[in-house]
Chains A and B, each alone.
Chain A
Amino acid sequence: NAGVTQTPKFQVLKTGQSMTLQCAQDMNHNSMYWYRQDPGMGLRLIYYSASEGTTDKGEVPNGYNVSRLNKREFSLRLESAAPSQTSVYFCASSLKTSPVQPQHFGDGTRLSIL
């Protein structure tokens, strides 16, 4: 049972380059999320998809786009990378039910922008 799989695990980009981070889950979850984690800032929500076919902005969406490709896959794109986007990126998924269910995280992508 793989859970949430993120690729790549590490990446170094130059300022202005573009990149897509991939995320797939095999838990039949409805909702998927992208977070970034910076020292002292905690986990901040970039974008989320409550269910297949929908996406919404989170707390820090500027400079990012997302695609919910199907129920399993949710990708995050940096169109023109900036040094401020150097961070660890986590994808998560959860069932969409009431009460709110726990989110399960992938192993993360460590991204450096030079």
Chain B
Amino acid sequence: QKEVEQNSGPLSVPEGAIASLNCTYSDRGSQSFFWYRQYSGKSPELIMFIYSNGDKEDGRFTAQLNKASQYVSLLIRDSQPSDSATYLCAVNKGGATNKLIFGTGTLLAVQP
């Protein structure tokens, strides 16, 4: 079992729809969860981070965390073609380090 798992996609949604990106993790000691967006040929860019169970909203983005189920998701409302990118889920390695474990990413394609 991978430490952080994401569906590789592509996830195709029409413009204006809600895109739902999912991530599961294996380390129950993980406390910090991050979503990065990566355009082709570019570096990862932080979108959201969440530490507590529940939802955290920032503009069109909502991160959802369920530690009991070891599940974190990212919702993108009113999806735009400019949201087309690979979305990386990252989870901190349990313990005293700042190390992150990254999933392999989900490719999102927003169709005009």
Which residues of A pack against B, CB within 8 Å? 31, 33, 40-45, 48, 50, 56, 58, 90, 94, 96, 99-108
Bits for B64-87, please: 1 = Cβ < 8 Å to A, else 0.
000000000000000000000000
Best-buried of B31, B43, B104 by chain A (most CB within 10 Å): B43
A103/B100 in contact, CB under 8 A: yes
The 9 lowest CB-CB distance pairs between A and B, nearest first, are: A100-B32, A42-B104, A100-B92, A43-B102, A105-B43, A102-B46, A99-B32, A31-B98, A42-B102
Residues of the A chain whose Cβ atoms lie less than 8 Å from the Cβ of B105: 42
Output the least CB separation between B64 and chain A (Å): 17
Inter-chain CA distance A31–B99, complex, in Å, is 10
Which residues of the other chain, A, contact B54 by a CB distance below 8 angstroms? none
Contacting residue for A43 out of B32, B42, B44, B46, CB 8 A: B44
Complex Cα–Cα for A103 and B46 (A): 8
Residue from A31, A41, A42, A99 in contact with B31 in the complex, judged by beta carbons closer than 8 Å: A99
| Contact in complex: A102, B34 (CB < 8 Å) | yes
Chain B residues in the interface with A (C-beta under 8 A): 31-32, 34, 42-46, 49, 51, 88, 90, 92, 97-100, 102-105
Beyond A45-B99, A99-B32, A105-B43, is A40–B104 a contact (Cβ under 8 Å)?
Answer: yes
Mostly, the B contact residues are: loop
Report if A42-B100 is in contact (Cβ < 8 Å); known contacts: A99-B31, A99-B32, A99-B51. Answer: no
The residue in chain A whose Cβ has the minimal distance to the Cβ of B86 is A42
Nearest chain B CB to A85 CB, angstrom units:
19
A102 CA to B32 CA, complexed, in Å: 9
Do A50 and B97 touch across chains, with their CB atoms under 8 A apart? Answer: yes
7 residue pairs bridging A and B, Cβ less than 8 Å apart: A42-B88, A48-B97, A99-B51, A100-B32, A103-B34, A105-B43, A108-B42
CB of B4 to closest CB in A, whole Å: 8
A99 partner residues in chain B, CB cutoff 8 A: 31-32, 51, 92
